[in-house]
């Protein structure tokens, strides 16, 4: 019984050790893709709101853009499990932008993240 427990523990450790952490280069690429996606989301929603697009349609934009970003990520890093990190990064950035717009504090962390996201999303290229 003790040997079975030791063997199953070793098998579990071996399986877990095969997961590769996200490298700094890959994280930078994901940050770029997340920022590009956030800029696309905010641009589409802003333009749609200005054009009088139905809010129900606009509410679907984030999910559609996130799905597209995940497809791009999967095409470049197939077989990896970075989709969850990408989705978290996009949603985190969107939350910070919403917070920055609601609070209008130019010195806040949310405003800093918003400005960095918009700058990065307009200046970087994913996959190059």
Domain positions in the chain are 23-123
Which pLDDT score, from 0 to 100, does residue 4 have? Answer: 44
Mean predicted confidence (pLDDT) in 100-123: 95
pTM, rounded to two decimals: 0.79
At 49-86, the pLDDT tens digits run 999 999 999 999 999 999 999 999 998 887 666 788 89
At 10-48, the pLDDT tens digits run 444 444 444 567 788 888 999 999 999 999 999 999 999
Mean predicted confidence (pLDDT) in 79-107: 90
Strand residues in the chain grouped as ranges (E): none
Dihedral sign for Cα atoms in the order 68, 73, 78, 82? negative
């Amino acid at each position: 019984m003790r040997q079975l427990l030791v063997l199953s523990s070793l098998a579990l450790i071996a399986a877990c050790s095969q997961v590769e952490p996200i490298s700094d280069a890959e994280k930078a690429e994901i940050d770029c893709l997340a920022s590009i996606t956030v800029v696309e989301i905010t641009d589409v929603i802003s333009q749609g709101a200005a054009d009088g697009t139905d809010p129900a349609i606009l509410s679907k934009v984030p999910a559609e853009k996130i799905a597209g970003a995940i497809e791009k990520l999967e095409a470049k890093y197939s077989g990896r499990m970075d989709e969850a990190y990408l989705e978290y990064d996009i949603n985190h950035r969107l939350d910070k932008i919403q917070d920055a717009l609601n609070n209008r504090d130019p010195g806040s962390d949310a405003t800093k993240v918003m400005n960095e996201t918009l700058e990065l999303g307009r200046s970087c290229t994913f996959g190059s």
